[in-house]
Amino acid sequence: MTDILHIRFLTRLLIKAWGIIRKRKIETLRARKYLWHIEQQKARQFAPEIFEKIAVSYGIYEPVVVEGFCRLHGRKASAAEKKRFVYYFICSSLFDYFVDDVHIPFDQIAMLSFKPEEATCTTFEEEVFLDAHRWLRKQVNDIQGYEICSRALFAAQQQSSLQFNQDLSISAVLDITFRKGGYAVQLGSYYLDEEVLETERKIWYQLGVLIQLTNDLYDVWKDAPQQIRSSVLAVQDMHQFARIFHEKVETLWQLIKQHPARESAKQNFLFHIAGTLSFGYIAMDQLIRLQGNQDHLPAYDSAHRKDWIIDMEKIENLKLWLKTTRKLYYQGLEKINYH
């Protein structure tokens, strides 16, 4: 009987994975069409790398995170919601461009973000950012909450520049990491068609924390040579990092348990996010093996870069992803008392 249930779950998971891959292509094209329309309107073009970052990021995010939360509401994402998330990725990708590539001062970005009526645009990118930001503010389901979340995210992003300081404390690094990831994802809760319960906004936030921790795991090979004090490189001990990660997962389960959605809706949501969480566990397993019997990770050496890269195209990692996703799904069901 157990084998039959296992086969059924894997079949369902493979069908879901295939559906996400297919939908990713569809949604990436949707984003490209919006971007082409903007380019046509402005008679200007995005830099190719910015164009692709927006389209690909949205294409990955929509089928998993957006559709997952819509399942909590017993439905699929609407066309209006999808457009809002495309515009969200326009803003977030251009924000990264302003900070990382052209080094616009934060006070100037703050003017574009929070005083758009007083802002003066000098570039195509600034004009698009301002237009997208203004449009989004008119679409949200709670403007007061949206403003609070936006300012909290801006503060976390501004403080993330402190992570180039190697003396920054572990607690400070983790605080910035949690807020940066949490508010970035929580912002999406304001783009849904309906009002969202405070419990659900906390779920968005908690998932964002875990996504940011996972990103840090996968980016460690890039962050180390740049002397970026990410959460992984600050904590150093992967066993301690794993405990932090697991505590955040436990908090997520408790928040889902508190949500008043129907049992079937919660199960569908768990099915969406279990695969996302499993990426973090796979990365931690690899870095724990890299640490070995030491009490911290070895010093980064570019000659052994492959040891630090988590390659999800490897067959063994894909098999591990299936196994871990199944484990997390049933763990989640047990924690929210539906198993």
- 158-168: b (≥16 Cβ within 10 Å) or e: bebeebeeeee
pLDDT band at 18 (very low <50, low <70, confident <90, very high): low
**Higher confidence at residue 37 or residue 12?**
37
Distance CA 214, CA 210 (A): 6
Distance CA 90, CA 32 (A): 11
Please tell me the pTM assigned to this model. Answer: 0.94
Distance CA 183, CA 206 (A): 9
Residue 3 has pLDDT above 60, yes or no: no
pLDDT at 181: 98
How are the residues of the chain apportioned to helix, strand and coil, as percentages rounded to the nearest 5? 80, 0, 20
- 95-105: b (≥16 Cβ within 10 Å) or e: bebbbeeeebe
Q: What percent of the chain has pLDDT over 90?
A: 85
**Higher confidence at residue 1 or residue 186?**
186
Mean pLDDT on 79-107: 94
pLDDT at 16: 67
300: helix, coil or strand? coil
Residue 81 has pLDDT above 90, yes or no: yes
- DSSP per position, 11-63: HHHHHHHHHHHHHHHHHHHHHHHHHHHHHHHHT----HHHHHHHHHHHHHHII
- 12 within 8 A of 268, measured Cβ to Cβ: no
pLDDT at 94: 97
Of 159, 145, 307, which is closest to residue 224 (Cα–Cα)?
307
Mean pLDDT on 147-152: 98
Residue 10 has pLDDT above 70, yes or no: no
Distance CA 139, CA 133 (A): 10
pLDDT at 247: 98
pLDDT at 116: 83
Distance set, CA 98 to CA 62, 126, 169, 182 (Å): 24, 9, 27, 21
The set of residues, in sequence order, having a beta carbon less than 8 Å from that of 268 and lying 6+ positions away, is 68, 71, 72
Residue 266 has pLDDT above 90, yes or no: yes
pLDDT at 218: 97
Mean pLDDT on 188-215: 98
Distance CA 191, CA 263 (A): 24
Tell me which range, 1-5, 111-115, 232-236, 312-316, is most confidently predicted by mean pLDDT.
232-236
Residue 9 has pLDDT above 70, yes or no: no
Mean pLDDT on 268-273: 92
Of 240, 195, 231, which is closest to residue 211 (Cα–Cα)?
231
Lowest mean pLDDT among 47-56, 162-171, 315-324: 315-324
Distance set, CA 209 to CA 27, 174, 289 (Å): 24, 10, 24
Average pLDDT, the chain: 93
Distance CA 115, CA 327 (A): 47
| Digit-coded pLDDT (tens) for 134-147 | 999 999 999 999 99
The set of residues, in sequence order, having a beta carbon less than 8 Å from that of 331 and lying 6+ positions away, is 253
pLDDT at 17: 67
- 62-76: b (≥16 Cβ within 10 Å) or e: bbbbbbbbbbbbeee
**Higher confidence at residue 34 or residue 339?**
34
pLDDT at 118: 85
